[in-house]
Amino acid sequence: MQHFEESVYKLIVETSTNLPGDVREVIQAAQEVEDSATRAGLSLSTIATNIEMAENNVSPICQDTGMPTFVVHTPVGANQMIMKSQIRSAIARATKDGKLRTNSVDSLTGANTGDNLGPGTPVIHFEQWEKDDIDVRLILKGGGCENKNIQYSLPTELEGLGKAGRDLDGIRKCIMHAVYQAQGQGCSAGFIGVGIGGDRTTGYELAKQQLFRHTQDTNPNNELRQLEEYVMENANKLGIGTMGFGGEVSLLGCKVGVMNRLPASFFVSVAYNCWAYRRQGVLLNSASGEIKEWIYPSGTGTPMKLKSAEAAVEAVAEHQEESREIVLQTPITEEQVRSLKVGDIVTINGEMHTGRDALHKHLMDHDAPIDLNGAVIYHCGPVMMKDQAGEWHVKAAGPTTSSREEPYQGTIIKKFGIRAVIGKGGMGAKTLAALQEHGAVYLNAIGGAAQYYARCIKKVNGVDFMEFGIPEAMWHLQTKGFTAIVTMDAHGNSLHANVEQDSFAKLSQFKDPVFS
């Protein structure tokens, strides 16, 4: 087993940096359905550009490399303690090499371990089987989509759908509601794994196990096959679209599994995964630990034949009446912001500052380390690497889910004179009111496009609050050509609220029974 650790390291790197071929094919099909001259079409073109950049740069597709979760099948007699130790070593090495973001934090203190190791991280599930080889599978599921996981206890009442009973039709309603409630916050269009039955814990485990299935497989259970086909046919009628911008494609895959349950409990658990569907596996020789084959089709040599993001920006601006292309240099004035409206495509040049949960909480009661009047705050936890000269470089820098900052954002905008906030998934009524009152704007970047946005960052000007850990620190970044879409403006308009309202109205068409 002298090659086991190296094989696991290769698995981690491949999973983080290169989407499998079956996932690429699904995204390609989505692009063919979506009108390229729409915000959703622009999003898919940016996603395609990002996928190729990540492969070419051997860098993370998305900066949020999530909670590494391994499922390992071993022959009888294999030493699982040694395997666990070597998996942990491979995780630490991949983190040091910038293939994983430092994501493991103490739940009580918030302190970042810096190596992705700690109690419960990474997650490793061992199972014995009768085969001679070792099967190691890994999924990297980011926090944004993990937060959109949902579990239902049947019977229940679902908004827009009515009563969901303890039957196949009740399960159907739960799945449709799960897609609706995710909106764009889980980096749609996404994939879902569904677990029927079990208890609260095993139901979620079963749901996540479904995400290891091939995108084009067929469920051997006829009822579940029909359910999967129904969801794929109808979930896209909700009109949520890529990034929640509205559009034809809201869901890219649905896989359902079932297990027995207690008579008193009936759980339907849904694991939502973003478009950056990072899962891969290897079959290893049990004697040497060398890789015999890759479980999922390799994405290498499978180019995304999609329109470039730059061409897509031009197409949207040309064909969408509500869209304009606008270039802004930081610091931004109130007059510039109030001239913007929902649908405008904005390109930012100049310095912007990252800020996530720890920074927003801190700024509520403290001064900022720099002048933020007219500034841009980017909801981002980048992957950073320091070179031999001690200079920091951005390896991946896509947006994080903005809704977590809703309790703070409005106050901070007004307190410090911030004129623009960049993130993904939109924000709520309190932030929208602050944008209107103060004269600020929310810009939606494309979730998961960590390589696409990293190339827009030309220099790291400095950093504050490193004690919060690299993802939560306040990085001061010099940018050029950073493009995002106005989805909440200073006039009280919110694209996110409009899409959610529209999709809720469409949800009611699925209220009537389908499966008897």
Taking residues 145-161, what's their average pLDDT? 97
Which distant-in-sequence residues (6+ apart) come within 8 Å of 175 by Cβ? 192, 194, 227, 231, 235, 254, 256, 268, 270
pLDDT at 9 over 60: yes
Band (298; pLDDT cuts 50, 70, 90): confident
Taking residues 260-277, what's their average pLDDT? 97
pTM for this entry: 0.94
Band (37; pLDDT cuts 50, 70, 90): confident
For the chain, residues classed under CATH 3.20.130.10 are 321-500
pLDDT tens readout for residues 467-485: 999 999 999 999 999 999 9
pLDDT tens readout for residues 163-175: 999 999 999 999 9
Q: How many helices (H) and strands (E) does the chain have?
A: 15, 20
Taking residues 476-496, what's their average pLDDT? 97
Taking residues 361-375, what's their average pLDDT? 97
Write down the pLDDT at residue 323.
66
CA geometry: angle 507, 510, 514, nearest 5 deg:
165
Rounded Cα distance between 386 and 318, Å, is 41
Rounded Cα distance between 313 and 486, Å, is 13
Write down the pLDDT at residue 516.
75
Q: How many beta carbons lie within 10 A of that of residue 123, not counting itself?
A: 13
Structure tokens at 95: 């983190």
Band (36; pLDDT cuts 50, 70, 90): confident
Strand, helix or coil for residue 381:
coil
pLDDT tens readout for residues 84-102: 999 999 999 999 999 999 9
Taking residues 23-36, what's their average pLDDT? 91
Measured on CA atoms in the order 354, 496, 65, 103, is the torsion positive or negative?
positive
Rounded Cα distance between 246 and 241, Å, is 4
- Residue 362 CA to chain centroid, in angstroms? 25
Structure tokens at 318: 């040309």
Strand, helix or coil for residue 467:
helix
Write down the pLDDT at residue 66.
95
Write down the pLDDT at residue 201.
97
Strand pairing of 376-378 and 345-354? parallel
pLDDT at 391 over 70: yes
pLDDT tens readout for residues 334-359: 999 999 999 999 999 999 999 999 99
Residues in the chain: 516
Write down the pLDDT at residue 445.
96
In whole angstroms, how far apart are CA 170 and each of 227, 235, 263, 266? Answer: 11, 15, 16, 11
Torsion of CA 233, 239, 245, 249, to 10 degrees: 20
pLDDT tens readout for residues 437-460: 999 999 999 999 999 999 999 999
Least confident segment among 161-165, 224-228, 300-304: 300-304
Taking residues 99-119, what's their average pLDDT? 96
pLDDT at 310 over 80: no
Q: How many beta carbons lie within 10 A of that of residue 330, not counting itself?
A: 18
Rounded Cα distance between 36 and 318, Å, is 11
Band (324; pLDDT cuts 50, 70, 90): confident
Taking residues 69-87, what's their average pLDDT? 97
Write down the pLDDT at residue 319.
56
For residues 235 and 190, the answer to whether their CB atoms sit within 8 Å is no
Task: Tell me the CATH architecture of domain 321-500.
Answer: Alpha-Beta Barrel (3.20)
- The answer to whether the bond into 331 is cis (omega within 30° of 0) is yes
Please give the backbone phi and psi of residue 207, each rounded to the nearest 5 degrees, phi first.
-60, -45
pLDDT tens readout for residues 285-297: 999 999 999 999 9
pLDDT at 322 over 90: no
Mean pLDDT of the chain: 94
Residue 512: exposed, middle, or buried by beta-carbon count in 10 A (0-12, 13-18, 19+)?
Answer: exposed
CA geometry: angle 230, 232, 238, nearest 5 deg:
100
DSSP assigned state of 184: T
Write down the pLDDT at residue 101.
97
Please give the backbone phi and psi of residue 96, each rounded to the nearest 5 degrees, phi first.
-60, -35
